[in-house]
Chains A and B, each alone.
Chain A
């Protein structure tokens, strides 16, 4: 071996087994890497396919576990075919599988075969929010009575700290109703598709709750979660929906344990 091959210049060559091995893991049309075989020169097509199958099937399984309502709506064959395309196009970048699937709702929106179900991507978005809430940090929610201690003239300046589990999703479709009907075992009745529903996801203790947000509620909550004071958030909500009911929205968010603290803004 030439001396310089022992130097760092050859390191990449010596450690390229991972690059060679992964090249065909998500591509069923590629031959197994030249570097591997069975014993005594046996072929490695089916042997390598075990790894390829483990990778693809386990990642599809991870998506089925994270999106059970989406799965129930489409049926397992449709879902697994759709998930297989997504796994090959966008494999995970984190070893934490409960983080996988952030791009899946957008993929569903682009997936041709899902076009007849235009609400499906929003159901998946709500399921992703549910899973984030499930794994979010534990925190003591702000008590419903907390606002009573703030003088009325200072309420507009009040800034809320969102609970780590709190999420809001918006949809042109009745996703909260569809989600709820498909996350339990009972029969799913007819759901009118043209009713928009925004969702509030919270987890005050160990159980995740999904509720409807009233008109303007999502805009209101988005602004509060971004750190805007109550007055500005209410203004934005009113601009979006004239029927926005400030008192009912604050009461609803507090009762749902959406926040951990409230304090006077600058």
Chain B
């Protein structure tokens, strides 16, 4: 018979905070989150944090953490709370299933970070999107950069 799992942390939200920064580490953002943690639950992970609590409190903590490096800290909703027996590998054994999407997106998220950093300077926005769509594979500009780097 299946074990009945009662609703955990009802009325709360859980959010992932990912960091991909050369200025700060997951440890730094954890310390910063604890400064204003109030009633929220914070779980430190290798990629950042999981924050669980009332929505407004979680948002408050996240906005405080984000100030550290706005373009390199990313936030996403999570359905399960941390340590949920259905997902936590402490109960399941072996590696935790999932995270494939995060792993994939974290591979090129630095490109998004550059986009966020250059949002305020319209002169940095490259040629129109239609031109970009016609570009197959490596752009000539990028190729030139690589050649210069290797020279």
A joins B in a complex: no
Chain B: residues with CB nearer than 8 A to chain A? none
Chain A: residues with CB nearer than 8 A to chain B? none
